[in-house]
Amino acid sequence: MAVCEVCFRHCNIPEGGLGFCGGRTSSGGKVTAANYGRITSLALDPIEKKPLRRFHPGSMILSAGSYGCNLRCPFCQNYEISWSEEAMKFARRAEFISPEELCSIADSCRSRGNIGLAFTYNEPLIGYEFIRDTSRLVHEIGMYNVIVTNGTAELTVLDELEPYIDAMNIDLKGFTTRYYTEVLGGDLDMVKAFIARAASFCHVELTTLVIPGENDSEEEMRRLSDWVADTCGEETPLHISRFFPVFHMTDRGPTDVRLIYHLAEVARENLRYVYTGNC
């Protein structure tokens, strides 16, 4: 057995077993990334899709994903590679791509407007060792590294990544302990600490998906945006996105577009750059 130190769960993983996230294992009494280099998704995307609106706008970025996640969001849009039964099927079929190979692919896409590599789609930090090893090589060839994450990781993980990461989009999925604990299976305090630390060394943008009946109140958005302004600065971009029924959350309709626009106005009381998504 070995204890994983990546997130608040601190899984005690038996030899050859998997942690809660499905992406970490135990071998010889040491926890390692079972999904190291196991790539399930690879695409050249506009950087605005991450979403990053104020980091090299108009550019493209090579986006790579693996499998596994340490949250259990019932509305996950990438459930096929995160925590569903399909995700474990992808795990068995995932192609191994070494850090050197992935860096080379990113380099070969420069002519198509690529500025670097984004670790995204599943929760990338459960395999932070691959991010560390690959992003170091990406920096060596003068390109950028981006992480799209739920922010559910210990600060020791950021210690490993800080020298190599240029930008992050971090989910701040809501601003109540109840929502994070009961709906997402997460830890709000861990995410807040992660965001504060990330904003101290790289460009950070945040995303909040507004779920009807869950995190959609004016009061919660005001508290959330006030905390972001105080902690990260009023110029920190916040993306407020519209929910659509998907995966295990099909018991309600899409978020009202008018509500998204209203909550964006509320957030603008505290933040300069607020963007609406899926509208």
In the chain, what are the domain boundaries?
2-277
The pLDDT value given to residue 34: 95
In this prediction, residue 81 has a pLDDT band, given cuts at 50, 70 and 90, of: confident
Global pTM reads 0.97
Q: What are the CA-CA distances from residue 95 to residues 32, 37, 41, 65, 79 (Å)?
A: 18, 8, 9, 11, 18
In this prediction, residue 88 has a pLDDT band, given cuts at 50, 70 and 90, of: confident
What does the pLDDT average to over 177-189? Answer: 98
The token pair at 2 is 């070995």
pLDDT at 222 over 90: yes
DSSP designation for 47: G
DSSP string spanning 167-223?
EEEEE---S-HHIIIIII---HHHHHHHHHHHTTTSEEEEEEEE-TTTS--HHHHHH
What does the pLDDT average to over 76-92? Answer: 80
Residue at token pair 């108009």: 58
pLDDT at 85 over 80: no
Q: How many CB atoms lie within 10 A of CB 3?
A: 12
pLDDT at 61 over 80: yes
Read off the pLDDT of residues 243-273 as tens digits, 9 standing for 90 and up. Answer: 999 999 999 999 999 999 999 999 999 999 9
The architecture in CATH of the region 2-277 reads Alpha-Beta Barrel (3.20)
CA within 13 Å, CB half, 216: 16
Read off the pLDDT of residues 119-156 as tens digits, 9 standing for 90 and up. Answer: 999 999 999 999 999 999 999 999 999 999 999 999 99
220-251 CB burial, b ≥16 within 10 A, e <16: bbbebbbbbbeebeeebbbbbbbbeeebebee
In this prediction, residue 190 has a pLDDT band, given cuts at 50, 70 and 90, of: very high
pLDDT at 90 over 80: no
Pairing of strands 38-39, 95-96: antiparallel
The pLDDT value given to residue 267: 98
